[in-house]
Structure 1
Amino acid sequence: MKKLLAVVMASFLMLTACSSGGKDAASSGDAGSSGSSKEVTVWAWDPNFNIKALKIAQEKYNKTHPDVKIKIVEYAQADIIQKLNTGFNSGTTKGLPDAVLIEDYRAQGFIKSYPESFHELGDKVKGSDFADYKAGPTSLDGKQYGVPFDSGVAGLYIRTDYLKEAGYTLDDLKDIDWMQFIEIGKKIKEKTGKKLVALDPNDLGIIRMMAQSAGSWYVKDDGVTPDLADNAALKEAFKTYKAFMDADVAKMQSDWSQFLAAFNSGDVAAVPTGNWITASVKAEASQSGKWAVVPLPKLANVPNATHYSNLGGSSWYVLNTPAADAATDFLASTFGSDADFYQTLNKEINAIGTLNTAGQGAAYQEADPFFNNQKLTSDFAEWTKEIPKVNYGVNTYAIEDIMIVAMQNFLNGADVDSVMKDAQAQAETQVK
């Protein structure tokens, strides 16, 4: 049943920058492992981020390991998931890569369903060297299987000019909750005519951020048992989402291009999301000097609520192939331990890694003129350390499909306790 579930999971995709698709064909090298212990094939998606990060790692590693050939292969994320499931279900890693990038929300589903296919990293990679919240998706039963990569640490991107026009300063956003933020949004709309945020009713990324900020998720700590009916953080997140709608401060959008257009065109005042949106915000050069980023508002009426959360992110995994040891050394020597390497990644692709020592590097301390010389990367690195650790489990997207329907029912007038109870029942029936 677990293996069947993993196949089903392949149909669920998250439309965020850090989980965007790539080309359908390989960008270099062969599609799978060569079977040689000195040839390492790595699969990933997104040519401008993950693939570019691999090429930087390849160049650095080959300076000291010229005898190891690194083949980088680009596939769309959906294709990688399908190919992994097909290969694992056949009982062999033949034709699969030696190392692969897997989104954090999906990782536990693969590791738990196919533990014999993944290579334990042992003392080559220490989970304690990375942000604590990355331990959940990259380890199982005390064993480290993943090399944590990028941080999906979230922040509240805010138009300071709109804020000022409404009579507020950045100090007014310190230590506030989401309901207080909505009140500020009402004033911004009154003074500027602009909506506060853009929301997609079929993408509950903001609900995920709110839940994790309070140390909660769709499942309990075991990563399996649905935790919806009695989940105080999720209920408050639902109420907050509805409050955005009731206050008429949310601009509705239905796809990625509309989301980008909402803030690039100046139609919304704020963007609460993962740090990977920075490049897209900066793409509108005319808005330079008009943005700042502060910690997220926290959930009201939830004792464990914080201002810190995550959205997206992925990690590297090694499969049990003839080149497993070489693949492990490649990843451990670069993504797994090299703080200077992360300075290069930050300069080249704006990546914020989760390696703790990377935060002290020079690139992370640089001021960003677009954000009024805010040391944005340094801030994000510090916030990464504060993200509550949760177990994403194996069914994030399957449960989220249920939650999307629950949200529509709630927005149409159903009681939050009723919709959560119904969602719980559906999750217990459909997700095993």
Structure 2
Amino acid sequence: MKEAEKIYQVDHPDFKLNIVETPWDDLQVKLTTLAQSKEYGQLPDIMLIQNNAFQKNVINYPEVFTDITKSGIKFDEFPAGVNGYSTVGGAHYGVPFDSGTAINALRTDVLTQAGYTVKDFTDITWDKYITMGEDILAKTGKPMLSGQAGSSDQILMMLQSAGASLFDKDGKPTIVGNVALEKSITLYKEMVQKGIYLEVNSWDEYIATLVNGTVASALNGVWISGSIQTAKDQSGKWGVTDLPALSGIAGATNYSANGGSSWAVSSNANVALATDFLAKTFAGSTKLYDTILPGAGAIANWTPASKSTVYAEPQPFFGGQPIYADVIKFGAKVPANNTGAYYYEARDAVSAAITQIIAGKDMTSALAEAQAAVEFAQN
């Protein structure tokens, strides 16, 4: 935001931003409190909203947000899958910012030890991934992946890669009878049982499996690259490619997302000024993204940024691969995902179901209970 302010001030020298950093959980509480008390005058002009919470907030508190569809911002310069998070009823309420585009980051030295390359993991299916993962585990002793037990992140990335969701277009849960979800859970359970997916108990333990070399890869939002690069001794030993696809599922792709956020303009804003600022910076300035990428690792969703020489620079940590340019290309192919107003309730319910299924519970009944829990929350 500070860099965006400098860029906008070139043509608007009197422009100033008052930037207030607020942790997401606190921001959500404040937003909810102001909405329920109708104290709209205390809202900031612009807010950074987590993508997975965006639709929920707009649907629950429409009077807090501004429809910026006709603001002049070029939404077609952002991937449809990312625009979808902040689109409600066909109207745009947000400008996508940091990328949650998913990557498959692989330890190239481990692959070499087992006779594989990153290319072998490019544009493949999960079935082939599991077959190679078993071989790599047998030859190196390293599981392919890791993640927090009881978390649905992996499943939801697999689900979105096929353009599927936990809700239909009307906001009704689609947990029961969701073929893509059932396929994703089946594959996840298979990986855990075969030892190629290591479940751990906490986020810190998950990060430790990456930086300590416990596993051969990380599959997550591109923001995970920041944690991976803290392992200085692994510089040059990583590569990045796209995700495995769900075989036999209509709409399956090799692209997905996890996380990310978008800028919202509040109903209390000077809307013309706020949207012009966003249009000239986060939705219109290659210079901005060139500046914040090296210093903050803030990877753009704005597609024109991929043409920048900074994004095209080889990254030594990743063996000289220009991973940031690759990630923007991946992002343009991520299917849209309808999160709805009860995304977190559905996410928690599915997480609980996965834990039960891994422990041996029948998938059909576990998912039926998950859907019933979401429907109860909706009512």
* Secondary structure of residue in 1 paired with 2:71: helix
Structure 1 equivalent of residue 89 of structure 2: 141
1:119 lines up with 2:57 in the alignment: no
The verdict on how the C-alpha distance between 1:322 and 1:383 changes in structure 2, with shifts beyond 3 A counting, is closer
Q: TM-score, normalised by structure 1?
A: 0.84
| RMSD (Å) for aligned C-alpha atoms | 1.5
Q: 1:322 to 1:152 in 2, by over 3 A?
A: closer
Distance (Å, rounded) in 2 between the aligned partners of 1:99 and 1:361 = 27
Candidates 398, 410, 423, aligned match of 2:345: 398
Q: In structure 2, what is the equivalent of residue 300 of structure 1?
A: 247
Say whether 1:219 aligns with 2:150.
Answer: no
SS at match of 1:251: strand
Q: What secondary structure sits across from 1:124 in the alignment?
A: coil
Rate the CA distance shift 1:325–1:69 in 2: closer, same or farther, 3 A.
same
Alignment of 1:268-417 (within 5 A): 268-321=215-268, 323-417=270-364
Once the 2 structures are TM-superposed, how far is the Cα of residue 326 of structure 1 from its aligned partner? 2.4
SS at 1:390 equivalent: coil
Distance 2:115 2:214 in 1: 19
What does residue 255 of structure 1 align with? 202
Q: Which residue of 2 aligns with 1:108?
A: 55
Q: Which residue of 2 aligns with 1:191?
A: 139
Counterpart position of 1:28:
none
Give the drift of 1:417. 2.2
Residue identity opposite 2:149 in structure 1: P
Answer with 208-217 or 361-370: which moved more. 361-370
The one-letter amino acid of 2:340's match is G
- 1:199 is displaced (CA, Å) by 1.8
Following superposition, the deviation at residue 114 of structure 1 comes to 1.9
Q: Which has the higher contact order (CA 8 A, sep 6+)?
A: 2
> 1:226 Cα shift?
0.1
Q: Deviations over 1:175-194 (max 9, x none)?
A: 32223212222222222122
Question: Are 1:246 and 2:193 an aligned pair?
Answer: yes
- The aligned amino acid for 1:75 is T
> Which residue in the other structure is 1:14 paired with?
none
Paired letter, 2:89:
D
Alignment partners' CA distance in 2, 1:409 and 1:141: 35
**Structure 1 pair 426/374, CA: closer, same or farther in 2 (3 Å)?**
same
| Distance in 1 between residues matched to 2:61 and 2:13, nearest whole Å | 32
Q: Distance in 2 between matches of 1:321 and 1:175?
A: 46
| Counterparts of residues 197-212 of structure 1 (less than 5 Å) | 197-212=145-160
TM-score by length of 2: 0.96
In the TM superposition, residue 221 of structure 1 has moved relative to its aligned partner by 2.2
Gaps of 5+ in 2: none
Q: Distance in 2 between matches of 1:197 and 1:113?
A: 37
Contact map agreement 1:210 1:299 (CA 8 A) in 2 = yes
Write the letter of the residue equivalent to 1:383. Answer: F
Structure 1: runs of 5 or more not aligned:
1-53
SS of residue paired to 1:179: helix
**Preserved CA contact (<8 Å) 1:155 1:295:** yes
Contact 2:192 2:199 in 1 (8 A): no
Q: Is the 8 A contact 2:102 2:256 kept in 1?
A: yes
Are the counterparts in 1 of residues 42 and 268 from structure 2 also a CA contact under 8 Å? no
Amino acid at match of 1:138: S
Aligned residues: 378
CA distance in 1, matches of 2:82, 2:197: 31
Alignment partner, residue 100 of structure 2: 152
| CA–CA distance in structure 1, aligned partners of residues 191 and 293 of structure 2 | 34
> Contact between 2:44 and 2:269, CA under 8 Å: does it hold in 1?
no
Partners of 1:322 and 1:399 lie apart in 2 by 32
Identify which of 1, 9, 17 aligns with 1:70: 17
Q: Supply the distance in 2 between the matched residues of 1:394 and 1:57 (Cα, whole angstroms).
A: 31
Residue identity matched to 1:68: F
What is the CA-CA distance between 1:58 and the residue it aligns to? 1.6
Read off the aligned partner of 2:335 and give its amino acid letter. Answer: P
Code of the aligned partner of 2:246: L
Distance in structure 2 (CA, Å) of the matches to 1:142 and 1:221: 11
Which letter does structure 1 place at the counterpart of 2:270? A
Structure 2 SS opposite 1:426: helix
Q: For the residues of structure 1 that align with 2:120 and 2:216, how far apart are their CA atoms?
A: 15
Offset, 1:140? 2.4
Residue 322 (structure 1) shift: 5.1
Code of the aligned partner of 1:260 = I
Inter-partner Cα distance in structure 2 for 1:320 and 1:427: 30
Paired residue secondary structure (1:165):
helix
Measure, in 2, the Cα distance between the counterparts of 1:427 and 1:144.
Answer: 26
Contact 2:142 2:216 in 1 (8 A): yes
Following superposition of structure 1 onto structure 2, how do residues 11-26 of structure 1 map, counting pairs within 5 Å?
none
Task: State the distance in 2 between where 1:109 and 1:358 align.
Answer: 29
The 8 Å contact of residues 366 and 375 in structure 1, kept in 2 or not, is answered as yes
Q: Secondary structure at the match of 2:264?
A: strand
Counterpart among 67, 73, 79 of residue 26 in structure 2: 79
Q: Deviations over 1:97-131 (max 9, x none)?
A: 11100011111111122222212222332321211
Q: CA deviation at 1:317?
A: 0.7
Amino acid at match of 2:304: T
Cα gap change, 1:322 to 1:150, in 2 (>3 Å): closer
